[in-house]
Amino acid sequence: MEKLWGGRFRKKINQTMKSFISSISFDKKLVRYDISGSIAHAKMLGKCRIIKEEESNLIIRGLEAILKKIEDGTLVVDDQSEDIHTWVENTLKEKIGGVAGKLHTARSRNDQVVLAERMYLKEEIRGIEKNIVDLQVVLLADARDYLGLIMPGYTHLQHAQPLLFSHHLLAYFFMFNRDRDRLTDLFKRVNVLPLGSAALAGTSYPIDREYVAKELHFRNISQNSLDAVSDRDFIIEFLSVAATVIMHLSRLSEELILWSSREFDFIELDDSFCTGSSIMPQKKNPDAAELIRGKSGRIYGHLINLLTMMKALPLAYNHDMQEDKEPLFDSVEVLKNSLVIMAGMLRTLQVKPESMRKNLEGDFSNATELADYLVRKGLSFREAHQVVGKIVLYCIDQKKYLEHLDLKELKKFQNLFEEDILALLSPEAVVNSKKSYGGTSLDRVKEAMIEAEEILNHWKIENVDAYKYPNSLH
Query: Which residues are known to be catalytic?
Result: 156, 277
The residues with which 267 forms a beta bridge, in sequence order, are 351
Closest C-alpha among 143, 146, 144, 139 to residue 176: 139
Phi, psi for residue 426 in degrees, rounded to 5: -70, 155
* Cα separation, 445 vs 163, whole angstroms: 10
List Cβ neighbours of 367 (8 Å cut-off, separation of 6 or more): 388, 391, 392, 402
* Cα separation, 26 vs 28, whole angstroms: 5
Q: From its phi and psi, is residue 399 left (phi > 0), alpha (psi between -120 and 50) or beta?
A: left
The residues with which 150 forms a beta bridge, in sequence order, are 164
In this structure, the number of other CB atoms found within 10 A of the CB of residue 78 comes to 13
* Cα separation, 38 vs 95, whole angstroms: 15
* Cα separation, 223 vs 78, whole angstroms: 35
Considering Cα of 436, then 442, then 448, then 454, what sign does the dihedral take?
Answer: negative
| Distance from the Cα of residue 460 to its chain's centroid | 18
3 state SS of 426: coil
3 state SS of 361: coil
How many helices (H) and strands (E) are present in the chain, helices listed first? 19, 6
Element (H, E) at 161: strand 158-164
- Amino acid identity of residue 165, one-letter, is F
Beta carbons of 77 and 30 less than 8 angstroms apart: no
CA angle 16–21–23, rounded 5-degree value: 125
